[in-house]
Amino acid sequence: MCRAAREELGLHRVEAGTVLANTASQRVLAKAGFTEIGVAPRYLHIDGARRGHRLFRRILHDGPPTGPGHRPNGPPAPGRRASGLAPGRALWRHGTHR
């Protein structure tokens, strides 16, 4: 999956999350090269309650963007802003909405 994410989609990273108590999946992610990036309290509603999750990521490469729709040295793709967000999408930074 990570190979396809990098080579076919040009993604920079892949992210994953597990319920806090799911240590088996956390070990699998660690063995696959993922690193823990934090905990998200009450992240998803599962089995009738909000459950906290442990969040992980794996950096696939540190090079420039290469994915589909990427236009090096050119204008953003149609329907995209220079920020990479689709028009009308909110940008969240440091817990405040912009």
Q: pLDDT tens-digit profile of 13-49?
A: 888 899 999 999 999 999 999 999 999 999 999 999 9
92 falls in which pLDDT band (50, 70, 90)? very low
96: phi then psi, degrees, rounded to nearest 5: -115, 145
State the Cα angle at 33 between 72 and 12, rounded to 5°: 10
90 falls in which pLDDT band (50, 70, 90)? very low
pLDDT at 89: 47
For the chain, give the mean pLDDT: 75
> 3-state DSSP call for residue 29?
helix
Residues listed for the chain: 98
98 falls in which pLDDT band (50, 70, 90)? very low
